Amino acid sequence: MNILITAGPTREPIDPVRFISNRSSGRMGVALAEAALARGHAVRLVTGPIAVPAPPAAERVAVVTAQDMLAAVQANLDWSDALIMSAAVADWRPRTPSPLKLKKNRMPAQLEMERTPDILQAVAARKGGRVFVGFAAETGEPEEEARRKLQAKRLDLIVANDVSRADAGFEVDTNRVTLLAADGTVEALPLMLKTEVASRILDWVEAHAGFRA
């Protein structure tokens, strides 16, 4: 299969030296890429600024902003049989980034913000027979929110995790996730290494992909 994976955060500029981002390290997406390559799949890995090395065997597309990541996903979607959106796309960006560094005594007290494009929603109409997998990092009711996102983003599978726990979610090697599928099946996995979580997600993708020649 040809698997398109996104990983890491995006960065939304305030000025040439400052940005808005999040704590995503890219570990989950890189683990998915490594597991997919080990199974003989071709991988294109779209990365924001990640804190871990990307596997050399993946075709890498490095991006910075949500807008860049959207363009990279759109450009590689036709090639793919499955899209796994493990990136933590920044939800908001400054409406008008300054082309010059803002002086510290001239920083505005408030930044005017706007939403970034929702990548999954933007490519939903081009889904065709592809498998779409999303992630839902929550601090409240992970499963309830994930179910809502599964439907809103027309996903086949959503991987829900509670990022308020110290041993799961951002910046650690372990994760505790629940897999919720569009057909209503729910599988709560115990705490495991992100490499093992990646393997379980790929098992699901392989079982549900409509392999195109």
Q: Binding of ligand C5P at residue 150 (CB under 6 A)?
A: no
From 22, 76, 105, 175, active-site residue: 22
Q: Cβ distance 130 to 156 under 8 Å?
A: no
- Is 161 catalytic? The answer is no
Considering only residues 120-149, where is the footprint of ligand C5P by CB under 6 A?
120, 134-136, 149
- Cα 9 to Cα 12, 46, 62, 194, 210, distances in angstroms: 10, 11, 11, 17, 30
Contacts of residue 165, defined as CB under 8 A and 6 or more positions apart, other chains included, come to: 176
Question: How many CA atoms does the CB half-sphere of 142 hold within 13 Å?
Answer: 22
For ligand C5P, give the closer residue by CB, 72 or 87: 87
Q: How many residues bind ligand C5P (CB under 6 A)?
A: 15
Which two tokens mark 107? 């920083």
Q: Binding of ligand C5P at residue 7 (CB under 6 A)?
A: no
φ/ψ region of 115 (left if φ > 0, alpha if ψ in -120 to 50, else beta) reads beta
String marking each residue 28-67 x if it binds ligand C5P according to CB under 6 A: --------------------------------------x-
Q: Binding of ligand C5P at residue 176 (CB under 6 A)?
A: no
Binding site for ligand C5P (CB under 6 A): 66, 85, 87, 89, 91, 116-120, 134-136, 149, 153
